Structure 1
Amino acid sequence: MVQLLGEFDCKLDAKGRLMVPSNLKKQLPNVEAEGLVINRGFEKHLVLYPKNVWEGMVEELSKLNQYEPKTREFIRYFTRGATSLTLDAAGRVNLPKSLLESVGIEISDDLVLACQFDKVEVWSKKAYEALFDKEPENFAFLAQEVMGNKNRGEDGK
């Protein structure tokens, strides 16, 4: 399983191309051959997936019950706009204008690439920094809420 680390400040060029930072590219050894997939995130950001990670997610989605309307709706929204990307000779990927517009990223925006496990979130720098303006007053309490019962069984013991 891919374990990506780091946050990277980037900028789109005038043609909407993003230079994949060398330290990130080193963590993606087959990226030149396999490429990436980009799609919308759950908030106002985009997500870059290594091709094999995206394929695993699609495989999981294909196992869901297609006869349930909520399942079809989720799949439709989740996969809407998904686009394969290939790196050019200079190590850049061309981000689709429709996806950029859908999350409010403009060509002139500074970006942050934020690694999360096996994917990379793509945020406008302003939106990313605004996330942390809402940082919980007591992060330890949030950690307890999210992770506190991790080692407990179903019966709470």
Structure 2
Amino acid sequence: MLKGEYRHNIDAKGRLMIPAKMRDDLGENFVIAKGMDNCLNVYPEEQWNTFERRLNELSTTTNAKARKLARFIQGSANDADLDKQGRTLIPPALRDFAKLDKEVVFVGVGKHAEIWDRAMWEAQSAEIEESIEELASGLEDSGFSF
């Protein structure tokens, strides 16, 4: 499981150091794609294959939402790997989407990880902290409890 929060910098060539603790969970090959809230999602290859298979099961012929979701996620997906220094290249289109310039935060969220612009992550994190009790109580209806 991918977990934790790590701060890194993107270099001038668009390369990002993947946190050492996450490299084993991500594996040699992984996928980076657009995520919700203007972050990037990073999927281990096996998780990506499962996710993509489920997405492909949606009828993009007759379901406009499924078509748009597939375009958004699959259209932005890039196969990624690590160089000898543990870095991966974030393509310019994905850097632009997530507004990644220099300081980024890598956040593990279980089956995948997210890459955030540091300022955007801090705003998102503050928003979550303000409403955590409400969020948690809402999940209790689904059988989740602390």
Q: TM-score, normalised by structure 2?
A: 0.89
Unaligned runs of at least 5 residues, structure 2 = none
- Alignment coverage as a number of residue pairs: 143
- Of Structure 1 and Structure 2, which has the larger fraction of its residues in helix? 2
Q: Per-residue CA shift, 1:81-136, capped at 9, x if unaligned?
A: 11001111221111101110122112xx2110000011110001111001133246
- 1:23 — aligned with what? 21
- Of Structure 1 and Structure 2, which has the larger fraction of its residues in strand? 2
- 1:122 — aligned with what? 115
- 2:35 — aligned with what? 41
- 1:134 — aligned with what? 127
How far has the Cα of 1:139 moved from its partner? Answer: 2.6
| Identical amino acids, percent of aligned pairs | 28
Q: TM-score, normalised by structure 1?
A: 0.83
**Higher Cα Rg, which structure:** 1
Rounded to whole Å, the distance in 1 between the matches of 2:31 and 2:112 is 10
Runs of 4+ more than 4 Å apart: none
Select the residue among 26, 46, 52 that pairs with 1:52.
Answer: 46
**2:94 aligned with 1:99, yes or no?**
yes
Unaligned runs of at least 5 residues, structure 1 = 153-157
1:26 counterpart letter in structure 2: D
Q: Which moved more, 1:7-16 or 1:72-81?
A: 72-81
**2:56 aligned with 1:62, yes or no?**
yes
1:53 counterpart letter in structure 2: Q
